[in-house]
Amino acid sequence: YQAKELHSGHSVYDAERDPYGPRRLALINDIRGAIEDEQLLVYYQPKIDTVTGLVKGVEALVRWQHPVHGFIPPNEFIPFCEVSDVIHDLTDYVVVKSLNDTLAWNKAGLDIKVSVNIAARNLMNHSLSEQIQAALTKTSASASILQLEITENDLMHDPERAKTTVKKLSEMGVGLTIDDFGTGYSSLSYLKHLRVQELKIDQSFVIDMLKDENDAVIVRSIIDLAHSLGLQVTSEGVESANILKQLLSYGCEHAQGFHIARPMPATELTSWLKSFNYQKLFEKT
Residues that bind Mg ion (CB under 5 A): 117, 149, 179-180
Q: How far is the CB of 259 from ligand C2E (least distance, A)?
A: 6
Given the rule CB under 6 A, which of 55-63, 158-166, 209-217, 223-231 is the region that contacts ligand C2E? 55-63
Instruction: State the CB neighbour count (10 A cutoff) for residue 64.
Output: 22
Q: Select from 19, 33, 67, 73 the one that contacts ligand C2E (CB under 6 A).
A: 73
Which regions of 101-231 does DSSP assign to beta strands (E)? Answer: 113-117, 146-151, 175-181, 198-201
Q: Which of 201, 202, 45 is nearest to 114 (CA)?
A: 45
Which of Mg ion, ligand C2E, none sits in contact with 72, Cβ below 5 to 8 A by type?
none
Distance CA 102, CA 145 (A): 8
Would you say how long the chain is, in residues?
A: 285
- Residue 92 main-chain phi, psi, to 5 deg: -55, -50
Q: Which is nearer to ligand C2E, 7 or 237 (CB)?
A: 237
Q: How far is the CB of 29 from Mg ion (least distance, A)?
A: 26
- Going from the C-alpha of 96 to that of each of 92, 129, 139, the distances in angstroms are 6, 14, 7
Q: Does 236 bind ligand C2E (CB under 6 A)?
A: yes
Q: Which of 40, 159, 34 is nearest to 98 (CA)?
A: 40
Q: Which is nearer to Mg ion, 32 or 258 (CB)?
A: 258
Q: Which is nearer to ligand C2E, 50 or 203 (CB)?
A: 203
Angle between helices 128-139 and 86-107 (to 10 degrees): 40
Q: Which residues 111-170 are close enough to bind ligand C2E by CB under 6 A?
A: 117-119, 149
Residue 7, judged by CB atoms within 10 A of its CB (0-12, 13-18, 19+), counts as: exposed
Q: Which residues 237-276 are close enough to bind ligand C2E by CB under 6 A?
A: 237-239, 256-258, 263
Distance CA 28, CA 86 (A): 9
Q: Which is nearer to ligand C2E, 61 or 223 (CB)?
A: 61
Q: Does 75 bind ligand C2E (CB under 6 A)?
A: yes
Q: Which is nearer to ligand C2E, 11 or 79 (CB)?
A: 79
Q: How far is the CB of 243 from ligand C2E (least distance, A)?
A: 9
Q: Which is nearer to ligand C2E, 60 or 132 (CB)?
A: 60
Q: Does 285 bind ligand C2E (CB under 6 A)?
A: no
Distance CA 224, CA 81 (A): 35
Q: Which residues bind ligand C2E (CB under 6 A)?
A: 45, 60-62, 73-75, 78, 94, 117-119, 149, 179-180, 203, 236-239, 256-258, 263
